[in-house]
Amino acid sequence: MSAGSRGDSGDDPAKEIESLRAEIWRHNHLYYVLDAPEVPDAEYDRLMRRLQELEAQYPDLVAPDSPTQRVGAAPADGFSEVRHEVPMLSLDNAFSADEVRDFDRRVRERLGRDGDVTYCCEPKLDGAAISLLYEGGRLVRAATRGDGETGEDITANARTMPSVPLRLAEGAPAVLEVRGEVYMPLDGFESFNAGARERGEKVFVNPRNAAAGSLRQLDPRITARRPLAMYCYSIGRLEGASRPAGHHAALAWLRDLGLRVNPEIRRVNGVEACVTYYNDLLVRRAELGYEIDGVVCKVDSFAEQDELGFVSRAPRWALACKFPAQEEVTTLLGVDFQVGRTGAVTPVARLEPVFVGGVTVSNATLHNMDEIERLDLRVGDSVVVRRAGDVIPQVVRVIAERRPRGARRVSLPTVCPVCASDIERPEGEVVARCSGGLVCAAQRRSMILHFASRRAMDIEGLGERLVGILVEQELVHDVSDLYGLSVDTLAGLERMGEKSATNLVNAVRDSRETTLARFLFALGIREVGEATAKSLARHFGSLDAIVAADESALQEVPDVGPVVAHHLRAFLDQPENLEVIARLRKAGVRWEEKVVERASLPLAGETWVLTGSLEAMTRDVAREHLEELGAKVAGSVSKKTTRVVAGPGAGSKLRKAEAFGVEIMDEAAFLQFLRDHGVG
């Protein structure tokens, strides 16, 4: 229980009981009526258990209207009321194997049994309970649980759900009321939220809220668009047929009538089998495709259930065995910013340690600044943290009512916490990034691998494992250090040897002679791919000219718009990046520099397409030759295409070119064309 729930009660049990009742009723109203829960189930459970403990200790203080004597809250306006002829009661909870064994002991004592009791175990779905009433095999009414005695008529909404049969199979009784749980499958939940984000709409916090909120839409057409499903778990009223002997048999009968029953339900013998079932489902919880928050164990025999009877709010023959909470409340102590291998700056919540989802959590992801703004998150806030299975813990909402005075807003740092380079977040972009690509230690491995890749500096033999070793042993701090590596240094590394070391040193030496386009691409500037690097090299002719160009001048280059120009300037405005380039030059890295007027090239203004396979050269080489002659090489054929080079295996692009009347050239003609123009 949070400290705030009991802070004013002192040692007076009557005051504490009254305070707990008020708090629980408030949460009931938020959950059942407004569909806006404020705290996770774990905190609600603690409030209820504390109230139960106090009322057990002081029975004279028990009141008829206490939350322990009822299930939930009154139905909301907007739906007609439904009176449940057989109350839809809730279950007592257990949170450990010992509590399950105590439940079994009480059952056996009441039944006067020495031997094992047969139980029916089933997943406890985390959704919304409803009742379906069938008369003559036809669905005539659906209702929410409400407060257990009175619910809301949601017949129109239930009829939209594919998993709710409108008519039962042959042999249905005259009257059958069946209870079940409506839930939203995890894949449907993720898909729905993704669509809502794209449309700028509110997203659901979790699948349970999604299911409950979807059922209570006044417009059934909205419910019909939600990915809802239902599993049936018990019978309420039954007329015109004999009741099966036990719960497991009843569920099998419901299945035969065409109602969905969970396939994970098992009939087991003895309490230890119940504990085993619990442990097995806890392990497989993340694989089920829907959320569960525990298992339910029920005495299987209906005769034994009748003998055991009920207490005021729950049956004595059933128990909900809750899993470790996936949501908990804790305090946000601060927000740290981490830099990923691509330079993305990600906020991470630093939390007061809290046990959730089976582990102690002290950090949680916040994704980006937009998420912080959406949550209205401030340092000092009470926050709900969620951890489902192996998923990284995340902050799902703020409890604004508990916000302390002086809670501090979170702002994005202006410089990288790793290398002190500027952090940039262009307008319209979600992710903030460090601009110190060549010098930021967080980006070092990915930067070196990109720099050495085949289409960049083409340093053969410098793979991911070796780069990791060079970085870990601090032999390479930035890409310029590659050119100072010696055979002796490399030969002493794990799994290298003198021959491998010599080959790598030679590959590094050979990479010193390159082109300006390759060098620009190797620098790893955001949005500057191979094609853009070539356009920049052709337009400016020298690196110094590119460094001196402002954003307006950069945008004069084909393929360079405002975004690319901004990223180029952000990179080149960092002195540390220019220092690394200077060190590369000092190490002997050279590139051909020349200014070529693109308009004067023979294929200027033409668009070519390559399709099929070429035997004399790769398509990448063919592309380079065409771009050298001034052509733009596109990936698709249109009426504006100048020529198509079609090698063996050409398919739809060739057919499209024929349909448009575009000139088609085979490989032999293409090779001759290149020779005629002095390339290839």
Catalytic residues: 124
Distance CA(25)–CA(35), nearest Å, equals 14
Distance CA(401)–CA(318), nearest Å, equals 36
In sequence order, the β-bridge partners of residue 643 are 608, 663
The helix (H) or strand (E) run that includes residue 516 is: helix 516-522
Distance CA(470)–CA(451), nearest Å, equals 15
Three-state SS at 181: strand
The CA dihedral of 373, 378, 379, 384, to the nearest 10 degrees, is -90
CA distances to 211, 231, 254 from 243, in Å: 31, 20, 11
Spell out the residues 6+ positions from residue 44 whose beta carbon is closer than 8 angstroms to its own.
24, 27, 31
The strand pair at 128-135 and 175-183 is best described as antiparallel
Give the CA count within 13 Å in the CB-facing half-sphere of 637: 22
Largest CA distance in the chain: 105
Distance CA(84)–CA(146), nearest Å, equals 10
Report DSSP state, residue 443. G
CA distances to 125, 185, 534 from 208, in Å: 9, 10, 53
The 3 state secondary structure assigned to 466-491 is HHHHHHHCCCCCCHHHHHHCCHHHHH
- Cα three-residue angle 203-209-215, rounded to 5 degrees: 105
Give the CA count within 13 Å in the CB-facing half-sphere of 208: 18
Residue with tokens 């599993």: 231
In sequence order, the β-bridge partners of residue 144 are 130
